[in-house]
Structure 1
């Protein structure tokens, strides 16, 4: 098959102009090096991270201008002369930090994010090192698979990266963002009990359909941390908390956590300056851990579990096209979505 020489792509050109700095242009179709694969991207998805990069609020390295977004999936259409892992036609999904292969993240790996330092996935064709993609789970389509890259791996890392979740343990998730919904699905597949929080009765019903054992409306119950603790055996507290609220929720997470439990901080939607002192970890006897996505090894483990349990990501009912990428940004920023915002690339 002959490949085009140019392609449409969305480029972040500024971290001061907001979404006005996200520009659609014609760019070159890249050529793979000896150890690279060329992927025809068919699906992409957005993360909160993508929304704040053009607003100058992202705390990790970026290198502008850069093709936007980290999350992509498609098929290999060309391979470099030294590539041994892949062949034409293989279905693959991108790795978020291209240099985070195994074990703990380090400074080098943290500086290799797609859509931040390296060109991302809001385009038709992308070149990646052969270790910068993983095999797509066979039960997922390309848009579903794309949602795994950041949110999926982050939640898997939270539950299995430091102290692996065990059957019968308790997990608390906050809200209905991508990471929280993945954590709910992964926790249930792992035999855990799940307490979910939300402020919406409609979303509460959706959480129950996904398997949540208990749902707490945090607007109606400001002391939801104590309520969650009382739901656990002998009021011991929960083993894992997926913390996305930051200053607005960390205090209640501290109340809910079990001795030797883990609070995985994923985001700070409620503010970045916690009111609680980190010294409270001593009285609560818990670990508070920042999670920055995860390694290729973690992603491969997650994909195997997704196949084995036939897990399908929660994707918002509105699927955008590549031409509509900026509309997708605005839709997500307005919080009109439930689950992941998907983009189909024709």
Structure 2
């Protein structure tokens, strides 16, 4: 018997984390002909989740949304026209549920999980079969729950421009120790690339080195870390994974090689600082692209690479229960985490 109710969180307003409301008896949506009912065992948080209840998310949103884009679980029930999955299959959610392949468009950008479509911070969720991917066999549920946003964003940053996709021997610059940056480091090393990472402490620097970083720059001690990265390579960095926003963009441009690619995927450093202009891209002869996660086709390629190279996401040692979601949000907001912060949802 499929469950009729589920424990779930919703975002009711934009007053901050107090806008998060917990319902222990929410109705489980009906399973349509092409839908899949998933028992969600684990979810993970992203910076996006933190700014949604603060009213700072710049993409489409729905009122009273169930938050969370990232989740891994087990198929409980399938609609009569579902062909991709069967009960018992282990699955991971796709961030933009309608983004199957190619570029985003005006329709598919409106399908963000946890933004426009109810997300993963609930025990049971119903999803279109097109918005799920088979879970990598080498991962557990907590690890797999980190793939939907941060991992796929990192993969898109390195491989999304097919003509400029990462090649062995090239150099990648990552910023900090958040989820996207750690995944970019792992993917780059698996591909035979050289990685220069930035961080704010010696403790984090040692962890980055253990994960394979070839060089680590403390950006608090070296304000011109972008120029330093360029000097380390001699010719500049081939791929910059830009997560900081206006506070780091100028150094990212200085780090880039001629025809290097800077992928802008976030603004965790805030938005209050003078930004480089388009002329800076011209004078440095680099490509700057903004991206919003990636497609199902890219995620399937990424999951295949994770299995083939036996890669394991870096998960923070602290795991929160679903009922303690507000505490998890605050823990991550205070930057107490390393790597991905996970939530145990259903047992």
User: TM-score normalised to the size of structure 1?
Assistant: 0.97
Q: Using the alignment, how far apart are the partners of 1:176 and 1:230 within structure 2?
A: 22
Alignment partner, residue 311 of structure 2: 311
Shift of 1:3: 2.6
Shift of 1:246: 1.2
Structure 2 contact 2–77 (Cα < 8 Å) conserved? no
The CA deviation string for residues 97-147 of structure 1, in whole angstroms up to 9 with x for no partner, is 001110011121111111110100011111111110000000111111110
Shift of 1:34: 0.3
Structure 1 contact 316–337 (Cα < 8 Å) conserved? yes
- SS of structure 2 residue aligned to 1:248: helix
Alignment partner, residue 197 of structure 1: 198
- Measured on the aligned residues, the alpha-carbon RMSD in Å equals 0.9
The CA deviation string for residues 288-338 of structure 1, in whole angstroms up to 9 with x for no partner, is 111100000000000000000001001100001111111111110111000
Q: What is the aligned length?
A: 342
Structure 2 contact 171–239 (Cα < 8 Å) conserved? yes
Structure 2 contact 47–268 (Cα < 8 Å) conserved? no
Q: Using the alignment, how far apart are the partners of 2:129 and 2:270 within structure 1?
A: 38
Residues 88-103 of structure 1 correspond to what in structure 2 (within 5 A)? 88-103=87-102
2:249 matches 1:257 = no
Shift of 1:274: 4.2
Alignment partner, residue 143 of structure 1: 142
2:188 matches 1:187 = yes
Gaps of 5+ in 1: none
Q: Using the alignment, how far apart are the partners of 1:78 and 1:276 within structure 2?
A: 50
Residues 183-262 of structure 1 correspond to what in structure 2 (within 5 A)? 183-232=184-233, 235-262=234-261
Q: Using the alignment, how far apart are the partners of 1:139 and 1:326 within structure 2?
A: 30
- SS of structure 2 residue aligned to 1:204: helix
Alignment partner, residue 330 of structure 1: 330
Structure 2 contact 261–288 (Cα < 8 Å) conserved? yes
Q: Using the alignment, how far apart are the partners of 1:301 and 1:283 within structure 2?
A: 35
Alignment partner, residue 24 of structure 1: 22
Q: Using the alignment, how far apart are the partners of 1:11 and 1:315 within structure 2?
A: 25
Q: Using the alignment, how far apart are the partners of 2:121 and 2:194 within structure 1?
A: 37
- SS of structure 1 residue aligned to 2:53: helix
Alignment partner, residue 33 of structure 1: 32
Residues 112-151 of structure 1 correspond to what in structure 2 (within 5 A)? 112-151=111-150
